[in-house]
């Protein structure tokens, strides 16, 4: 069996991955808060853990991996969007969730085994708060239930920060109902016009950190293998998840491996609405093929900061043109089954080394292009496709890639012009045939003639 290695934030180094139970490898990844369109940072994290999920399935078997990625559908950001737009909260969360699922489908992100919504696990959250109160790790103050960080020795071990560092410049709410500024909310009171649930502490709603602890323990158990998310979540979110889960379940280790995707930047600086360099997935995929964006994410090691540029997106599209062109040229080869190339799997098993895996994919492409016999082409084509699939690439038919997805009115017009050109050639009106070809070329359409007919693709 291929050995997987992961950079474990808990250990601050790359270590061998040893699952608790190889017959049920369990992974939890923090999903989106559904109040607005998914941005590039959301997409990068989703693609990274989609590749890890694929690798886990390849090594342990799809039926032996349980993947959970949650939806936060109760949060102050959602309340703010409600106040800003006047739209009902349920309408905001449902619409935003649908947008997110559509965007992820375009990027070929596989659905997790479970996609729990926070609002579906309120009872579990209330029970978790009760446990923390009973264990003397939480306290009541002015209608709030708060986690007492001083009750947990070693608080800050995941992020490796001292209390002083954690309080300096972090997203910590300073409030007079806290004993310590670092104490965080487990349960907060809701106004009558806000989402809320009845609890032993009154009408209210859960704190953000509580949600993931409740959902992960319910679906994966109090000990599971991998917890993932963006590096921006290490503190305070993941740190506080650790604190409350370890304190609630005595003897638990919670997540054994913590895996974090590096920060996303645009043209070398952090993506921010205030800087005008903020991009949503929908904005990008309306102008570029979604698969080009997915490939671009994979050109940088997930653990490192990722720099998005439109030049890089263009380059990724050009690479996919080469990949799909090789598949198009070998489309008539017999369909055979093949496993992913072992070097590709080994690269991905080594802490998701996607840059190395892509370089091996290019080597396979060269071999496919040089193959001479039909048998060799068929074998290499199948291996090339299986290896790409391990990274979630080459998931379209070559014709669809070059034509720009599904048929449109424009496609129908192009087909009509090609038919007119064929008629012109039959009538030996080669000047008209050449004119049609040139007009299509000016529109970015390239024609390729073969004995079986004429095919086309976009430049």
Kind and range of the H or E run holding 126: helix 122-134
- What integer pLDDT is reported at residue 429 of this predicted model? 81
One fold for both 5-261 and 266-401? no
Note whether 134 and 128 are within 8 A (CB).
Answer: no
Residue 406 pLDDT exceeds 50 = no
- What integer pLDDT is reported at residue 105 of this predicted model? 96
- Tell me: the pLDDT tens digits for 214-267? 999 999 999 999 999 999 999 999 999 999 999 999 999 999 999 999 999 999
- Tell me: the pLDDT tens digits for 47-91? 999 999 999 999 999 999 999 999 999 999 999 999 999 999 999
Answer with the residue of higher pLDDT: 432 or 236.
Answer: 236
- What integer pLDDT is reported at residue 405 of this predicted model? 45
Bond from prior residue into 236 cis (ω within 30 degrees of 0): yes
Give the domain 5-261 fold: Rossmann fold (3.40.50)
Tokens 């799809």, located at residue = 62
Spatial separation of the C-alpha atoms in residues 10 and 14, rounded to whole Å: 10
Residue 407 pLDDT exceeds 60 = no
Average pLDDT, whole number, for the chain? 93
% of the chain exceeding 70 in pLDDT: 96
Instruction: Classify burial at 278, counting beta carbons within 10 Å of its beta carbon; exposed 0-12, middle 13-18, buried 19 or more.
Output: middle
Q: What is the CA radius of gyration of the chain?
A: 26
pTM above 0.75, yes or no: yes
Spatial separation of the C-alpha atoms in residues 424 and 440, rounded to whole Å: 15
| Mean pLDDT score, 163-172 | 66
Kind and range of the H or E run holding 298: helix 290-298
Residue 17 pLDDT exceeds 50 = yes
- Domain locations along the chain: 5-261, 266-401, 407-458
8-state DSSP, 339: P
- The CATH superfamily holding the domain 266-401 is Isoleucyl-tRNA Synthetase; Domain 1 (1.10.730.10)
């Amino acid at each position: 069996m291929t050995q997987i290695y992961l950079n474990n934030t808990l250990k601050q180094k790359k270590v061998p991955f040893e699952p608790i139970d190889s017959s049920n490898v369990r992974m939890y990844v923090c999903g989106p808060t559904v109040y607005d369109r998914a941005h590039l940072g959301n997409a990068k994290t989703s693609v990274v853990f989609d590749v890890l999920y694929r690798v886990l399935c390849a090594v342990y078997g799809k039926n032996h991996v349980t993947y959970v990625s949650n939806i936060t559908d109760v949060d102050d950001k959602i309340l703010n969007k409600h106040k800003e737009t006047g739209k009902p909260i349920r309408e905001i969360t449902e619409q935003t969730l649908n947008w997110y699922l559509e965007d992820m489908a375009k990027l070929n992100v596989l659905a997790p085994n479970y996609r729990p919504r926070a609002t579906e696990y309120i009872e579990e959250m209330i029970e978790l708060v009760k446990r923390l109160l009973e264990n003397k790790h939480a306290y009541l103050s002015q209608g709030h239930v708060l986690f007492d960080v001083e009750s947990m020795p070693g608080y800050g071990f995941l992020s490796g920060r001292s209390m002083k560092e954690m309080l300096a410049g972090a997203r910590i709410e300073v409030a007079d109902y806290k004993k310590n500024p670092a104490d965080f909310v487990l349960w907060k009171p809701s106004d009558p016009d806000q989402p809320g649930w009845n609890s032993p502490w009154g009408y209210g709603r859960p704190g953000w950190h509580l949600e993931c602890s409740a959902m992960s323990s319910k679906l994966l158990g109090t000990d599971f293998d991998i917890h993932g998310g963006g590096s921006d979540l290490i503190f305070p979110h993941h740190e506080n998840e650790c604190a409350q889960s370890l304190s609630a379940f005595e003897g638990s280790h919670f997540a054994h491996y913590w895996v974090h995707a590096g920060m996303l930047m645009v043209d070398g600086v952090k993506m921010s609405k205030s800087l005008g360099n903020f991009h949503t997935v929908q904005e990008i995929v309306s102008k570029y093929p979604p698969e080009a964006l997915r490939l671009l994410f994979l050109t940088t090691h997930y653990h490192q900061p990722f720099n998005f540029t439109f030049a890089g997106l263009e380059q990724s599209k050009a690479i996919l043109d080469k990949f799909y062109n090789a598949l198009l040229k070998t489309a008539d080869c017999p369909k055979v089954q093949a496993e992913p190339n072992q070097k590709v799997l080994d690269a991905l098993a080594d802490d998701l080394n996607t840059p190395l895996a892509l370089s091996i994919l290019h080597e396979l492409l060269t071999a496919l292009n040089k193959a001479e016999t039909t048998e060799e082409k068929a074998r290499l084509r199948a291996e090339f496709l299986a290896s790409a699939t391990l990274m979630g690439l080459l998931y379209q038919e070559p014709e669809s890639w070059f034509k720009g997805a599904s048929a449109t009115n424009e496609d129908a017009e192009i087909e009509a012009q090609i038919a007119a050109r064929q008629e012109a050639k039959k009538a030996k009106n080669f000047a008209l045939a050449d004119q049609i070809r040139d007009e299509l070329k000016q529109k970015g359409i390239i024609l390729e003639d073969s004995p079986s007919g004429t095919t086309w693709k976009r430049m």
